[in-house]
Amino acid sequence: MRKSVDGRGGVPDAWYDAPTFYFSNPYALIGAHDDVPVPPGCRAFDFELEVAAVIGKKGADLSPEQARDHIYGYTIFNDWSARDLQSREMQVGLGPCKGKDTATTLGPWLVTADELEPYRDADGFLRLTLSVSVNGEEVGRDLLSNMAWTFEELAAYASRGARIRPGDVLGSGTCGNGGCLAELWGRNGRQDPPPLQVGGGRGGDDGRGHRHHPQHRRARDVPAAPAQGPDPSPGEPAVMCGA
């Protein structure tokens, strides 16, 4: 995915030092059945299949062992991304900014932490299968246990010198092996499969009613980002990200 966003491949050494994260927009949360707004100027709209841990009680400077008791449960997390906006913003060395703050989907279900304990492996990861489909065609599949850091380590690091509170949501990071289109673009050297498009055709469904239709969001007096990549085809059908 990194290659398609900033043109560089590989994993930086700092990735292994700590579970680095960014703060997203809490006012952009939408439900699992809601239409998804596309950021103004975006022509490379993408999904990111993740799992999120939802914090159940406050804490600060937690160890990973302590953090486990602060996680109430888990839910599906779709981190919708404007790759063309993100690519341009990241050149500044900050962000992601407007490439990531238009929409984040949660749900439709919240599974309590105790229900997933039987799926925890010896290293503390949750061994769950993840899959994502676009218009009924599977494009990605992975195991949640392939995360670089456990959710307890994520929560502990987030609480370092700070405080986590009930209702905080911690994303796992995008699952591999096709968890987003950008990963496939970097692997294929082109935007194949194509970016998600706004359209009037059929949407998709993952069998749990997790259905999405991208909808354009218009902005006044805001310059659109320069186009990167081909214009979307006007006749493309609506699409979904099911997980």
- The CA distance from 164 to 170, in Å, is 10
218 confidence band (pLDDT: 50, 70, 90):
very low
> What's the token pair of residue 149?
């850091």
Question: Are the C-beta atoms of 191 and 43 separated by less than 8 Å?
Answer: no
Q: How many whole angstroms separate alpha carbon 183 and alpha carbon 132?
A: 13
Residue 242 has pLDDT above 60, yes or no: no
For the stretch 191-200, pLDDT in tens is 999 999 986 3
Taking only the tens place, the pLDDT of each residue in 23-64 is 999 999 999 999 999 999 999 999 999 999 999 999 999 999
C-alpha to C-alpha distances, 99 to 61, 69, 125, 175, 197, nearest whole angstrom:
31, 33, 29, 19, 16
pTM of the predicted protein model: 0.80
